[in-house]
Amino acid sequence: MTKFIVEADGGSRGNPGPAGSGAVVIEASSGEVLVEIARFIGIATNNVAEYTALIAALEACQKLDAEATVSVRMDSKLVIEQMSGRWQIKHADMRDLAAQARALAVGRVKSYQWIPREINNRADALANKAMDERADSIRFIATDSNHGELAATVSTPMAAVAEFNAELPSSVRAPGGVTAQLTTIILVRHGRTALTESKRISGRGGENPPLSPAGRDDAARVAKAVSQIGRTGPWAHIKAPTAIICSPVLRAHETANIIGSSLSVTPTTDEDLSEISFGAWDGLTNDEARSAYPELFEQWRGSWQVSPPGGEALIDFDARVAAARDRIFLAHPGETVVVVSHVMPTRGFIRAAFEAGISSYWRPQISPCSISIVRFWGNETAEVLAINATAHLAD
């Protein structure tokens, strides 16, 4: 039976900070290195990086020979002791990663051995390579009986980080002299409701429906996507979220609670993140509102100051969203914050980022449980990373 040796390591520059993992798979009988793996993780801790390295190596072992046995060697006392079952796993992130590693190790890994860091230099070098290049690479060096190379290096740079600046605006054309701390805002619209599904107007102070069954499914999907930010996937390079602030309107609050469960974070509410008020038009379709108030409806479209009967003018709404935004900057400098709200508050954040005019309140499409990401350096400058991302909602 084939026997493999895995050497794995991970590092984080900041802990948490930009993190990378490295691993090698070695043929035990010959000592030949069969696979070299470097993986850029994004913002994470050393422990997350070390577990990620082990998982990547065990996945490579499975691809090489699903029947092979494996011996694991690492300089991480924590991973070795936890995987051996001698130490408890208290942190939720570690439990999830350990579960992934154990699923790959069952019936395959025969031993876990701690080794000094200086002996683990190959894996350490690959982890540093991943952090230096902010890229993933895997090199299979499996050989046939004539020692001919069967697989070459596969390098997968993350396009999202190729020109990304983790601390300052990424564009070289952006003005310098930025002094405010970066706050990254993950904008999430709530899931669907019965009013959403029937295409009826639903604002602040109206019927206040809960999420529909489809809306709860939306929320579960976006919760999973948000929980991966800062860890894996297309936004692994962004700092992981540490706070959730939401509109107190029921559909947004329910969505925020579902996201909060996935992050182990309790949402707080801000009244100024509520949807704009449509007054007498709430619960109507657009055609019904137009038919009941034909002249006012046309005046309202494209206007800062005209409001529905008993509703809210856009100029007043824009001011309250700005106030909520300023409170977030003040309370969460240097953090990533999930803001769960509605179509119009999301557009308000995007408008501020672009320093755009009134048309920004109807030009961006904002779908239920979509993700938009904006980085703000206070009110000095901003950078838009994504608008209306919905890939996580696809089956």
Residues with catalytic function: 190, 275
- Residue 59 tokens, joined: 């996945």
Asked whether the beta carbons of 252 and 272 are under 8 A apart, the reply is no
* 3-class DSSP assignment, residue 247: coil
Q: How far apart are CA 289 and CA 293, in angstroms?
A: 6
Asked whether the beta carbons of 131 and 20 are under 8 A apart, the reply is yes
Asked whether the beta carbons of 20 and 127 are under 8 A apart, the reply is yes
Q: How far apart are CA 383 and CA 374, in angstroms?
A: 6
Q: How far apart are CA 241 and CA 143, in angstroms?
A: 44
Q: How far apart are CA 155 and CA 153, in angstroms?
A: 6
Side-chain half-sphere of 379: how many Cα atoms within 13 Å? 9
CA Rg value for the chain: 25
Number of Cβ within 10 Å of residue 217's Cβ equals 15
293 φ/ψ angles, rounded to the nearest 5 degrees: -135, 65
Q: How far apart are CA 161 and CA 291, in angstroms?
A: 50
